[in-house]
Structure 1
Amino acid sequence: MEALAFTFVGHALRALPSGALHWPEEHLLVVSDLHFGKSARLARRGGSLLPPYETRATLGRLDADLETTGARRVICLGDSFDDLAASDEMEPEDRLWLLRLMAGRDWLWIEGNHDPGPGTIGGSHLAERRIGRLHFRHIAASDASAEVSGHYHPKLTLAGQRRPCFLLSDPARLILPAYGTYTGGLDCGATELAALMGPDALAIATGRRCLALPYAAAAQSRPRSSSLSR
């Protein structure tokens, strides 16, 4: 699978096919919107019943990305858990798997709208974080500069297929796709996202390989309906 190298406010970054962001110079892997425990939360609240394997599938991708990149630092950009109870309700084997991935790494949980406070799993917990020139937070700010965020689960339609995508508007912001298995998506041309993108913005499709497209072109190729899992 092919990653895509690009530069954002002077920093050399890589978009991975999984939807993770790799910053080699900082030995850093960034993921957003893992939504661990989504199926359990839906069942608890009387919603749709989904096969309870999304946490394991997401952990498998995360394990593979950490192995491939050798990252020693991880930032999870919010909505890592589908609600604050989800970290307590993880299956024991899934919890142990996550703790194994965290062991020996500098691990930061950014607060999201689904998980607006510290959970019971280790690591650091912050609302926002700056590293170098980059500002990491969950939801994009309208007046941002050098911002890396998530929240919107952007997707585009390419050759008739829906694919999660990064949205890049240098030097203002970089929006990551959702990394979790059971996450919906908001079309990249939706009003909320169009308002955040500049004239030279790019959309980077994920999949077997990452592909950069002009945002304007990606935004024009829209499905009949879009939905965002929040």
Structure 2
Amino acid sequence: MDPTYDDRALVLGDTLVVADLHVGRGTGGNLAFPVGSGTDVVERFRDLVERHDPDEAVVAGDLLHSFRTVPRTVEDTVAGLRSVCRDAGARPLVTPGNHDTMLDSVWDGPTAAEHRVGDTLVLHGHEPPEEEADRYVVGHDHPTIDIEGQRRPCYLVGRDQYRGGDVVMLPSFNRLNAGVEVNRMSAADFQSPLVTDADRLEPVVWDEDARETVSFPQLGEFRRML
């Protein structure tokens, strides 16, 4: 099945995938959770669910940021995400990431290290998968690309990238995350072990105004054009 891109998320048939929500990530100081951030995440998630009517919604890791104790605002946001799924009849599932150390304190729903959707395996991507698949959908690195001085969140699509399978890396769903600029990164610069050849990663940018994606040359060619 061909994926559909939409607002930093991915749709695979009847499955909606988002990654790296980092609920509770602050901007410094004493603010554990800036006002309005949770609402933005929940409302955009609701819009996605309403547009695509998925049977299941998968968070590909780092639902939470890292905490010693979980703020109440984080609990409320996670409850809001679950409420969206419940109202739509979509089964929620989390594939825990490296930041989800406190996940059990706010999430009693289903979890799995990796989740199969047809010929695709969904996981956070901070560790190698145990299973093999034709396609791997991951998060973890929060990719962005600089285009004419403006940094934009992007998906990265790599053919034959890991164990003969394709890799699709999602940008962080949380708009507070500045992300990591990938323009000049090599495979060794990525944190995910599923990236093996950065030159063959194709950036895909979601154009919110046009409601469509814009594809760019693979990073190896893109660098030569700069």
TM-score (norm 2): 0.77
SS at 1:107's partner residue?
A: strand
Deviation at 1:184, TM superposition (A): 2.2
C-alpha offsets along residues 94-129 of structure 1, whole Å, 9 cap, x if unaligned?
455323212132111111110045342342112112
> Which residue of structure 1 lines up, in the alignment, with residue 182 of structure 2?
188
> Which residue of structure 2 lines up, in the alignment, with residue 135 of structure 1?
121
In the aligned structure 2, how far is the partner of 1:106 from the partner of 1:141? 25
* From 112, 121, 124, the counterpart of 2:107: 121
> Which residue of structure 2 lines up, in the alignment, with residue 226 of structure 1?
none
TM-score (norm 1): 0.76
Structure 2, unmatched stretches of 5+, are: 160-164
Deviates more, 1:112-121 or 1:195-204: 195-204
* From 24, 42, 59, the counterpart of 1:59: 42
Structure 1, unmatched stretches of 5+, are: 1-10, 223-230
Is 1:111 paired with 2:100?
no
SS at 2:94's partner residue?
A: strand
C-alpha offsets along residues 143-170 of structure 1, whole Å, 9 cap, x if unaligned?
9752111000000012332111111112
Deviation at 1:142, TM superposition (A): 6.8
Letter of the 1:163 partner, please give it.
R
Preserved contact between residue 39 and residue 52 of structure 1 (Cα < 8 Å) = no
In the aligned structure 1, how far is the partner of 2:33 from the partner of 2:224? 32
Preserved contact between residue 169 and residue 200 of structure 1 (Cα < 8 Å) = yes
In the aligned structure 2, how far is the partner of 1:128 from the partner of 1:92? 24
Letter of the 1:131 partner, please give it.
V
C-alpha offsets along residues 148-205 of structure 1, whole Å, 9 cap, x if unaligned?
1100000001233211111111233111110012112111232324953366431101
In the aligned structure 1, how far is the partner of 2:73 from the partner of 2:206? 28
Report the identity percentage: 21
Deviation at 1:69, TM superposition (A): 0.9
C-alpha offsets along residues 49-101 of structure 1, whole Å, 9 cap, x if unaligned?
77332111111111111111111211101111112667662267545532321
In the aligned structure 2, how far is the partner of 1:35 from the partner of 1:125? 17
> Which residue of structure 1 lines up, in the alignment, with residue 162 of structure 2?
none
Preserved contact between residue 157 and residue 202 of structure 2 (Cα < 8 Å) = yes
> Which residue of structure 2 lines up, in the alignment, with residue 12 of structure 1?
2
Deviates more, 1:173-182 or 1:143-152: 143-152
Deviates more, 1:198-207 or 1:84-93: 84-93
Is 1:167 paired with 2:167?
no
Which protein, 1 or 2, shows the higher relative CO under an 8 Å CA cutoff with sep ≥ 6? 1
> Which residue of structure 2 lines up, in the alignment, with residue 215 of structure 1?
218
SS at 1:214's partner residue?
A: coil
SS at 1:97's partner residue?
A: helix
Deviation at 1:136, TM superposition (A): 1.3
> Which residue of structure 1 lines up, in the alignment, with residue 15 of structure 2?
28
In the aligned structure 2, how far is the partner of 1:86 from the partner of 1:165? 32
Q: CA RMSD in A?
A: 3.0
